[in-house]
A and B are shown apart, each in its own frame.
Chain A
Amino acid sequence: MGSIFTFSILQSALELGCIYSLVALALFISFSILNIADLSTDGCFTLGCSVGAVVTIAGHPFLAFPAAMAAGVCSGFITAFLQTRMGVPSILAGIIVNTGLYTVNIAVMGFSSSVNLFGCDTLFGLAKDLSGAAWYGGWYKIVIVAAIVLIIGVILSWFLNTRLGLSIRATGDNEYMVRASSINPVFTITVGLCVANALTALSGAILAQYQKSCDINLGTGMVTIALASLIIGETIIGKGGMFKRVVGVILGSCLYRFIVAVALRMSVPAECLKLVSALIVAFAISFPYLKGKASFYRARRMPAGIGGGDGDDEC
């Protein structure tokens, strides 16, 4: 087994884990906190990627990130607008926006299904030239993405404890309380989805510069992958304060990438990866439920008086 856990696998799992953790954080906001399944994530990720790529090609490697985030905010705003002002059910709103984004993404890339960034200045390329130290050559990518994720994580956990952040959290937690306590759910849902989609798009833009290309199908299945990371993170960290949970989501994303890397190493064909992630998500979500079931059956099998149940009073 020793050969599976090589250094380079760990390294690339960390790099990709950090990049994709921003999408997991976006779902943390929309799915865990606002209790909304935002299915526009796939399209929004590609949107961030394509906007980031195009701006980078135009010679602005740094401007690419705010530009991608702005595009993400627009996408999130439209999703929120549909569900809060137009009466579209939230899942449908996400699907509609996702469908529309396909055309938008192709248009952004100049009506082509992919672009590449070879020969362009990227954040990674510029950072590589900063130092000539021997260790730096292998680590600069991790240093950059980890720094970005750390900054985003700190800002996000700070934000979620401000008045606005608390209002957003209450919106997904108790609708009656929200109605009785001067929180405008239209506003909090809109802000929440805008922030979430900005993070998704930022993740896409970083990936564009990381792999120096952008493809129209890049985002397919992104919502499942991010959900897997999110649930792995919440399972290993458990309950706690906002910062702890944010860190958990980032760890979950890295762990997910590591699992995928190991799967690849064990010669699982790359085409099967989506199926692997679907299985991980299905297992991770059903795990707490199955655990509860298992303890029920264990209790029932015990002799009366020890387990407390006699088996007749189920459900």
Chain B
Amino acid sequence: MLTLKKISKTFNPGTVNEKKALDRVSLELADGDFATIVGSNGAGKSTLFNAITGAFYVDEGQIILAGENITYVKEHVRSKVIGHLFQDPLKGTAPHMTIEENMALAYLRASTAAHAYFSRINGREKQMFREQLALLNMGLEDRMKQPVGLLSGGQRQALTLLMATMVTPRILLLDEHTAALDPATAEKVLALTRRIVAERRITCLMVTHNMHQALELGNRTLMMDGGNIVLDIQGEERENMTVDALLQKFRDQAGRQLDVDRILLSE
């Protein structure tokens, strides 16, 4: 589904702040793959996501999504088929627009033809939004006329997830999308993620700092360090991997002591 061919990105080239954020990263995600990504801060995880969504163009290499070379396709064109959730739950929805309007925007953006600038949401579609909201079990289906700014972070993140997958994306990028939520809400949003991804067989990449999640969710675990993917396990190797062993790998690969990270990463 997604193929990255030796993509590189250097920020501030030629200055003292030069930073090689991605260093010839290659990755092949099969259709329906759900890969988790771990890595310390600055390892290039978010940069990798931004390269895929097109927030910047890569310096070299190719990005191929569903057989189409999108390396130089503009960001807003790519995002028709890419779902992207941020860590900050405020980033995914428009606070002064109602729940219904936010969903309408998500629904209209990708489902209709290019000439549908003046299309509006009809009653049947409103009913569909209501049914989808009801599945969240958050009581949002009765608050569809309220501005999204009134919702809690967890509710907004759940809504963002719903919006990102309303029209099934070719790939879903989750950038620590539960990290800013309280444990109970995070669990709920995670369960929702799991269900939606499994039901629609969405190809998915998820950044996490939680080693349990990294091994338990999905079918593949990647580790990034210094702008490259340093570990890629799946199948039997992954099933036999323990949290401690993964942490050990983390430490070995990074080649430095990660006691602070251990505190942060393990439960």
Contacts and interface: CB of A to CB of B under 8 A. Distances in A.
A197 to B, nearest CB: 19
B84 A180 contact: yes
B117 A163 contact: yes
**Helix, strand, loop or mixed for chain B's interface?**
loop
Contacts of B88: 176
A174 B110 contact: no
B23 interface: no
Q: How large is the interface on A (under 10, 10 to 19, 20 to 34, 35 or more residues)?
A: 20 to 34
Interface string B75-111: 1111110001010101111111100010011101110
Contact of B117 (A162, A173, A179, A185): A162
A161 interface: yes
Given A162-B118, A164-B118, A176-B86, A169 B94 contact: yes
A166 B77 CA distance: 17
Interface in B147-199: 147, 163-164
Contact of B109 (A159, A173, A181): A181
Interface string A199-221: 00000000000000000000000
A184 B53 CA distance: 14
Per DSSP, are chain A's interface residues mostly helix, strand or loop, or mixed? helix
A166 B108 contact: yes
B112 interface: yes
A170 interface: yes
Interface in B214-252: none
Interface residues of B, number: 37
A37 interface: no
Interface string A147-177: 0000000000001011110110110011011
B119 A179 contact: no
B128 interface: no
B137 to A, nearest CB: 24
A153 B116 CA distance: 22
A82 interface: no
A249 to B, nearest CB: 16
A179 B93 contact: no
B119 A163 contact: yes
B76 A166 contact: no
A33 to B, nearest CB: 9
Contact of A162 (B74, B91, B109, B120): B120
B138 interface: no
B147 A183 contact: no
A85 interface: no
B106 A181 contact: yes
B30 interface: no
B76 A182 contact: yes
B264 interface: no
A184 B105 contact: no
16 contacts: A161-B101, A163-B104, A163-B118, A163-B120, A166-B97, A169-B94, A169-B101, A173-B95, A174-B95, A177-B91, A179-B55, A179-B79, A180-B79, A180-B86, A182-B78, A182-B79
